[in-house]
Amino acid sequence: MDALDLLKNLTAIPAPPGQESELADEIKRLVKEIGHGVERDAKGNLIVRFDRSKPKVVVTAHMDEIALLVRRVEPNGTLAVTSLGGLYPWKLGEGPVDILATAGVVPGVIGFGSIHTNDPSSRAQRARELPLDWTSASVFTGLTATELSARGVRPGTRVVVAKSRRSILELGDYVAGYFLDDRADIVSWLLALDRLGSKNGVVFAATSAEEVGGEGAQYLLHELHPEVCIALELGPIVPDAPSDLTSAPSIWVNDSYSAPAPADLELIAEIAREIGVPIQFQAFSRGGSDASCAASKGLCARPFTLGLPMENSHGFEIMHSEAMEQLARLTVALVDRLV
């Protein structure tokens, strides 16, 4: 499996929280190519089991991406939107979007108004004076409210970055694009799954709705209640948790929800030394993962979050092209040690 080809394939497919089915179908196909069966639960999680016993370890990577949600359809056919997950307007800017209507994709353009005015009622003037938020944005569709209604556009419809903006940019040793969080981790998840073969006591899960509170993982882990959850995530480059933009995996030592035990951090350090994979430890003041959110609710005893070092989190993200491979190696070695 070629990591970069997989990444290009997966980032091209939209998957907002609660609407991950197109991406799930592609991941399911890839898992079957590896040679494993896969199930989908009521929450939309994809589950790969090697046996039917209660698992000790669940390895997750989430399918969903940050997106927008329609709040209101205006009489003139423009859409008022709000964030679904941590998408900020200054991270996305103006440009094409795809509206995932029930009758098919409707193209649109997100905008914040023209700047050639000092009128206090203009959105551009408000943005000069106040923090930019989604109340200043609108999505132009070129359709009337009646035409949008006929296509199934209504409050709650998801709006995603258009396919024309989903290509991966290669920059020497680095790659960049939208939604490397968490498509690049799905790549590492697939690579690890391919290399482990059948492993009793382990479940691999591609989870839904992580960006809105880890909903998919919590639903699944409430049923499985494993000892260990290993979440494959990003390792954001931030000043209060310094790290380098290299291929060396990031190990989360705490976040907004939980902190792994020191003995488990030492276990990862020992394994990393044995396999020759350099690692970086990060203590975050903001964020969460499938593992940490689940641990905070008592749904696993030992949370591990392993990340891909990444710049511009929740925007046009940048990472080292070898990071996916290194994360897969570390994941395989950790699972082998735990079961």
pLDDT in tens, 194-245: 999 888 999 999 999 999 999 999 999 999 999 999 999 999 999 999 999 9
Beta bridge partners of 99: 106, 159
- 191 pLDDT more than 90: yes
**Does the global pTM surpass 0.85?**
yes
Domains of the chain from N-terminus onward = 3-65+179-338 (3.40.630.10), 67-164 (2.40.30.40)
CA distance 251 to 265: 8
pLDDT in tens, 175-185: 999 999 999 99
Q: Which residue in 325, 320, 229, 338 sits closest to 277, CA to CA?
A: 325
- 321 pLDDT more than 90: yes
pLDDT in tens, 120-165: 889 888 888 889 999 999 999 999 999 999 999 999 999 999 999 9
Helix (H) / strand (E) element for 150: namely helix 145-150
